Amino acid sequence: NSEDVVVMLKNFLYLFIFIFWYSTTIMFTTNLRNVMGVPISTVNSIVDIIILLLLMIQIVFFQSYKKRELVIIIGITTPIIIAAALSRQYSLLSGWMFIVAARNVDFDRVIRVAYKILLIMIPAIVFLCFIGFIEERTMTRGDIQRFSLGFVHPNHLGMRIFQLILCHFYINKNKLGMLNFFFIISAIIFVIIIPNSQTAYICLTVFLIMILGYRYFINQKQILMEICAKCLISGYLLLNMVSIIFSYIDINKNVVLSQIDKWMSMRFSLCHKVWQLYGVSFFGQRIYISPEERKLAGITGSLWLDNAYVSMLLRYGVLVFLLFSICYLYLMKAMTAKKKYVLVIILFLYSLYGAMEPALYMITHNIFLIAFSEILYNKCDKEI
């Protein structure tokens, strides 16, 4: 059947792009310095261009659209492009392109592919680190040693383990046995001992509690699961608003709030410092955070912008921040309505992660954002 062949080709191209992009992106967040003598930054730039061209081919030539879909795509794409150009940050644009290009691909299949890539890439990077091919970067927090095992930062290792666990549980959501829970407990212990990534092991612990609750409620009292899902949606909104408010005010003027900030590694006060320096724009602005950027801009002192909500607001501007916040909320509500509770839990976990790391809106970390294509193209009647 010629139509089946066309559909297969459309699926193959997207999955080829995804595999190529995801594998190289993971490798580019390691301490690998060059590839066959070419600096890793140059290789990264070349791969980005190739991925962009392939995604454009998929979007323009391999997909057709209804008027409603075109209106939504153009309406969302325009402010994201403007914000990306002004901020010189392309994470959100990259994520949106993967969402738009996912019209003909089953979301579950994408997650299964991502899971297999993580299962291959994480051990491969650790092995290359052990044999000395990739440099190890050891850091300390107080008296605690933190190992990156080849990744550019211990937090990156923690993030990839977090991703691996979420993909594993999503794939096995209908057959959660004791082995799965042993898997997550082992991951928590590993993340505490090796990278000592606080955000990763806190979120994994919260996930363990939630998935245990899910396993009980889904079989016994589904009405409680529905209530819990609605509470998670409210939790996402609360995390969003609290992050913005606590970063806007000088949190150190309040003893209680200052202590909360210390527990969160000074995330709010550090974001407040950046906020005071740059302010908020409507369409986005360039913010110099890295040592190279600060040197270029003539800014002295260290700057950190690790809260995802504040990072979005300051980098991409008010319009894109509101657009993302509303779309993420809508995605969680839509998945709750379709009783996709494991996905709702995962989306909430990323919103929690976003309070400490900017992973929430970065497709390389939050590949579950691709689920938005299920709503964009009215695929919610299919199993997600």
DSSP 288-344: --SHHHHHHHT--S------HHHHHHHHHHHHHHHHHHHHHHHHHHHHHHTT-HHHH
Percent of the chain with pLDDT over 90: 64
Six-digit token pair at 155?
A: 């937090």
Q: Which of the pair, 373 or 2, is modelled with greater confidence?
A: 373
pTM, whole model, 2 decimals?
0.92
* Strand, helix or coil for residue 139: strand
* Strand, helix or coil for residue 86: helix
Alpha helices by DSSP H, the chain: 2-28, 40-61, 67-87, 91-100, 107-130, 154-171, 178-193, 198-220, 222-248, 255-263, 267-278, 291-297, 308-337, 341-353, 372-376
Other residues' Cβ atoms within 10 Å of the Cβ of residue 262: 14
Q: What integer best gives the mean pLDDT of the chain?
A: 89
Least confident of 75-84, 117-126, 186-195, 212-221: 212-221
The pLDDT value given to residue 296: 67
Six-digit token pair at 272?
A: 């407040």
Least confident of 82-96, 201-215, 257-271, 308-322: 257-271
- Beta pairing, strands 144-147 & 34-35: unpaired
pLDDT in tens, 214-236: 888 877 777 888 899 999 999 99
Contact (CB, 8 A) for 359 and 353 = yes
Other residues' Cβ atoms within 10 Å of the Cβ of residue 141: 12
Determine the average pLDDT of the residues in 306-322.
95
Contact (CB, 8 A) for 336 and 344 = yes
Determine the average pLDDT of the residues in 334-362.
94
The pLDDT value given to residue 383: 42
Q: What are 151's strand-pairing partners?
A: 30
Confidence band (pLDDT; 50, 70, 90) for 380? low
Determine the average pLDDT of the residues in 265-288.
90
Determine the average pLDDT of the residues in 17-31.
93
300 pLDDT higher than 70: no
Residue 147 phi/psi, 5-degree rounding, is -105, 140
Nearest in space to 331 (alpha carbons), one of 311, 359, 360, 357: 360
384 pLDDT higher than 60: no
Identify which of 28-37, 255-264, 337-346 has the greatest average pLDDT: 337-346
The pLDDT value given to residue 215: 85
Question: Angle, nearest 10°, between helix axes 198-220 and 154-171?
Answer: 10
Nearest in space to 55 (alpha carbons), one of 96, 104, 16, 17: 17
Amino acid at 142: G
Distance separating alpha carbons of residues 244 and 267, to the nearest angstrom: 11
381 pLDDT higher than 70: no
The pLDDT value given to residue 142: 81
Distance separating alpha carbons of residues 229 and 240, to the nearest angstrom: 17
Cβ-based neighbours of 363, under 8 Å, separated by 6 or more: 91, 94, 95, 98, 369, 370
